[in-house]
């Protein structure tokens, strides 16, 4: 979902544009600001894809806003509206890529056409066919492989050498060994109806890795690699970006990264047909703590809310999370990765290959195989404290309780399936609880800003994911739910003669009486006053 911000210092124009765009249902998340300074606040809080702005405004005007947008959100498109014949501003605007110019006198049809064209342009840019082609050309270079192998050593517990900078120079790693990095992990989902080979998974993971590098290259130093579980990991050092607390014109790092990875997710879906879940560390990491931070981000995937599709989740790297290292045996690594990532089909496929293909092996090997798999399951159960929710946990480490190898391995398989079901039910429960909290917040704050960005910030999700999850769980769009809640509250207050219509409008989030009247009549067919009089009769 793209996000459009309307900016004008004239409240009636801003509200009119907002209502017109909402009525035409262009599939946009709409936000509004009544000044350039308020618009800047939006741009520092979340990704904005289209800005519909006046040029002449007090304080920060449209051209200043354009300069800030192009520096911090290079993919954002701008549509200028003005009632002035300001040749200089218009000339500068049309010389800037991604900028359109309209006169306010041209009316709403022209605005709607310009917004539709902007949406189409964003769709085209997300396909990024040229970036995908460049990524494919780099897939098998020795340099990429050497970097990946070196960074995997650092990720999985090898302490960085004292001469880290020298290693970076020799391997042509475009990062500063003396500066911390932001770490981002991705989990790829494929079409389950189509078999995907290991080679195809690796190729796709590399394509996603390099595609993200291309998106971030203009505003940050970035290097991606594939970890031992086959998942992309990025190391990012902001270069042109600001940090929290810097000049107002500079965008904070985390909102920029969150916004860019939303675009990267959509590009992967459009260009590669791959769904990507993103986990983003909420603070920079020193190289000496790389392995520890990596483990925390990866473990956070276990407590995901919902199915995670198109989720960009910030991970609190200060929070402690108990975990043990899995079994070091080679055969358990892949099983652990599938179990930890919730990949049910892949786990059972590998489980069956291991257990069925080795039935003819000798007793010692089968005994080792049984206890290797048992350790994977027991480690997972202990790590997430599931012993009281899984039957016969104690028997997992007692092979002698079973009459045959077939019965022993069948018991392990049953336990694994129970663990996957527990994870799935946990995701559903957390999703339901998250939506319950959002609904309660809406009911208690009907007189305040209930934009998708604000609600997403309250529940700690990215806006696109909250919108999707709310519709998935509740069967209704979030915006429709808010409108219904405001209408019902307004009706309730109108049945009481103690408040004036203007006061009731304010209590349900409408400062301007005319906006409240339009909103109420659109939903009910009558004005607030007509409704009140009807209820008296």
Among 103, 105, 97, 107, residue whose Cα is nearest residue 80: 103
Q: What is the pLDDT of residue 246?
A: 44
Lowest mean pLDDT among 336-345, 361-370, 497-506: 361-370
Classified as helix, coil or strand, 524 is helix
DSSP 526: S
Taking residue 305's Cβ as centre, other Cβ atoms within 10 Å add up to 23
Taking residue 175's Cβ as centre, other Cβ atoms within 10 Å add up to 18
Q: How confident is the model over 100-107, as a mean pLDDT?
A: 86
Tokens of 174: 């475009």
Residues 175 and 292 both lie in one domain = yes
Which residues constitute the domain of residue 518? 445-536
pLDDT over 60 (residue 447): yes
320 occurs within a structural domain: no
Looking up tokens 């996957």, which residue turns up? Answer: 420
pLDDT level of residue 346 (50, 70, 90 thresholds): confident
Residues 469 and 420 both lie in one domain = no
- Global confidence as pTM: 0.66
Cα–Cα distance, 335 to 254 (Å, whole number): 33
433 occurs within a structural domain: no
pLDDT over 90 (residue 337): no
Query: Where does a domain end: 127, 158, 193?
Result: 127
435 occurs within a structural domain: no
Q: What is the pLDDT of residue 4?
A: 97
DSSP H helices in 446-527: 452-459, 463-474, 478-494, 501-507, 513-524
53 occurs within a structural domain: yes
pLDDT over 60 (residue 326): no
Cα–Cα distance, 101 to 89 (Å, whole number): 10
Q: How confident is the model over 363-373, as a mean pLDDT?
A: 87
Cα–Cα distance, 302 to 277 (Å, whole number): 13
Selected residue with higher pLDDT from 86 and 203: 203
Residues 192 and 100 both lie in one domain = no
Residues 152 and 220 both lie in one domain = yes
Q: How many domains does the chain fold into?
A: 4
In tens, the pLDDT along 14-54 reads 999 999 999 998 999 999 999 999 999 999 989 999 999 99
pLDDT level of residue 474 (50, 70, 90 thresholds): confident
pLDDT over 60 (residue 496): yes
Residues 300 and 165 both lie in one domain = yes
pLDDT level of residue 452 (50, 70, 90 thresholds): very high
Q: What is the pLDDT of residue 134?
A: 63
Contacts of 436 (CB under 8 A, 6+ apart): none
Q: What is the pLDDT of residue 350?
A: 84
304 occurs within a structural domain: yes
Cα–Cα distance, 90 to 88 (Å, whole number): 6
432 occurs within a structural domain: no
pLDDT over 60 (residue 322): no
Q: How confident is the model over 314-336, as a mean pLDDT?
A: 60
Contact 253, 241 (CB under 8 A): yes
pLDDT over 90 (residue 343): no
Query: Where does a domain end: 426, 454, 469?
Result: 426
206 occurs within a structural domain: yes
Residues 99 and 225 both lie in one domain = no
> In b/e form, how buried is each residue of 310-345, taking b as 16+ CB within 10 angstroms?
bbbbbbebeeeeebeebbebebbebbbbbbbbbbbe
> In b/e form, how buried is each residue of 115-151, taking b as 16+ CB within 10 angstroms?
beebbeebeebbebeebbeebeeeeeeeebeebbebb
Among 414, 366, 361, residue whose Cα is nearest residue 390: 414
Residues 152 and 205 both lie in one domain = yes
Residues 170 and 218 both lie in one domain = yes
Q: What is the pLDDT of residue 355?
A: 85
pLDDT level of residue 436 (50, 70, 90 thresholds): very high
pLDDT over 90 (residue 498): no
pLDDT over 80 (residue 448): yes
In tens, the pLDDT along 220-237 reads 899 999 988 889 999 999
Residues 412 and 334 both lie in one domain = yes
Query: What is the average pLDDT value for the chain, to the nearest integer?
Result: 85
* Range of 102-106, 249-253, 479-483 with top mean pLDDT: 479-483
Residues 8 and 84 both lie in one domain = yes
Cα–Cα distance, 29 to 1 (Å, whole number): 7
pLDDT over 80 (residue 9): yes
The fraction of the chain above a pLDDT of 70, given in percent, is 87
Residues 44 and 103 both lie in one domain = yes
Q: What is the pLDDT of residue 245?
A: 40
434 occurs within a structural domain: no
In tens, the pLDDT along 407-421 reads 999 999 999 999 999
Selected residue with higher pLDDT from 321 and 446: 446
pLDDT level of residue 1 (50, 70, 90 thresholds): confident
**What is the arrangement of strands in the sheet containing 50-54, beginning at the earlier edge strand?**
28-33, 2-7, 50-54, 77-82, 99-103
Q: What is the pLDDT of residue 478?
A: 95
Q: What is the pLDDT of residue 494?
A: 94
pLDDT over 70 (residue 243): no
Q: What is the pLDDT of residue 323?
A: 39
Q: Tell me the β-bridge partners of 223.
A: 235
């Amino acid at each position: 979902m793209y996000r459009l911000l309307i900016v004008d210092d004239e409240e009636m124009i801003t509200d009119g544009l907002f209502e017109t765009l909402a009525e035409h249902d262009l599939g946009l998340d709409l936000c509004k600001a009544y000044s350039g300074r308020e618009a800047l606040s939006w741009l520092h809080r979340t990704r904005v894809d289209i800005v519909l702005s006046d040029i002449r405004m007090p304080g920060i005007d449209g051209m200043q806003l354009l300069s800030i947008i192009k520096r911090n959100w290079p993919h954002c498109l701008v549509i200028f509206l003005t009632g002035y014949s300001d040749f200089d501003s218009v000339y500068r605007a049309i010389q800037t890529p991604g900028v359109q110019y309209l006169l306010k006198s041209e009316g709403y049809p022209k605005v709607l056409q310009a917004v539709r064209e902007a949406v189409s342009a964003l769709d085209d840019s997300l396909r990024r066919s040229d970036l995908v082609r460049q990524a494919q050309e780099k897939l098998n270079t020795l340099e990429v492989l050497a970097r990946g192998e070196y960074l995997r050593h650092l990720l999985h517990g090898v302490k960085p050498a004292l001469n880290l900078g020298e290693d970076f120079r020799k391997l042509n790693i475009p990062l500063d060994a003396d500066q911390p990095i932001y770490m981002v992990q991705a989990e790829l989902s494929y079409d389950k109806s189509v078999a995907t080979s290991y080679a195809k998974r690796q190729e796709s993971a590399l394509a996603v890795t390099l595609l993200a590098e291309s998106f971030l290259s203009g505003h940050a130093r970035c290097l991606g690699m594939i970890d031992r579980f086959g998942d992309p990991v990025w190391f990012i050092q902001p270069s042109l970006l600001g940090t929290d607390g810097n000049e107002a014109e500079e965008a904070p790092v985390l909102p920029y990264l969150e916004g860019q990875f939303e675009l990267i997710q959509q590009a992967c879906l459009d260009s590669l047909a791959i769904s990507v879940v993103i986990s983003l560390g909420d603070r920079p990491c020193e190289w000496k703590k790389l392995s520890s931070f990596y483990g925390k981000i990866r473990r956070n995937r276990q407590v995901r809310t919902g199915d995670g599709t198109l989720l960009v989740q910030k991970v609190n790297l200060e929070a402690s999370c108990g975990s043990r290292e899995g079994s070091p045996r080679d055969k358990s690594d892949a099983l652990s990765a599938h179990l930890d990532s919730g990949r049910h089909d892949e786990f059972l496929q590998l489980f069956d290959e291991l257990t069925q293909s080795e039935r003819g092996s000798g007793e010692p090997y089968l005994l080792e195989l049984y206890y290797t798999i048992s350790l994977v399951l027991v480690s997972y159960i202990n790590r997430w404290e599931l012993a009281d929710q899984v039957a016969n946990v104690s028997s997992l480490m007692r092979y002698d309780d079973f009459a045959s190898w077939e019965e022993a391995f069948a018991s392990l398989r049953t336990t694994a399936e129970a663990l996957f079901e527990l994870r799935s039910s946990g995701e559903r429960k957390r999703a339901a609880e998250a939506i319950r909290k959002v609904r309660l917040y809406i009911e208690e704050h009907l007189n305040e800003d209930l934009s998708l960005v604000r609600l997403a910030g309250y529940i700690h999700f990215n806006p696109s994911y909250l919108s999707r999850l709310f519709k998935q769980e509740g069967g209704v769009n979030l915006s429709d739910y808010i409108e219904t809640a405001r209408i019902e509250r307004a009706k309730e207050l109108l049945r009481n003669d103690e408040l004036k219509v203007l006061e009731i409008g304010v209590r349900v989030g409408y400062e301007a009486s005319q906006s409240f009247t339009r909103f109420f009549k659109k939903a009910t067919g009558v004005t607030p006053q007509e409704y009140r009089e009807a209820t008296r009769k």
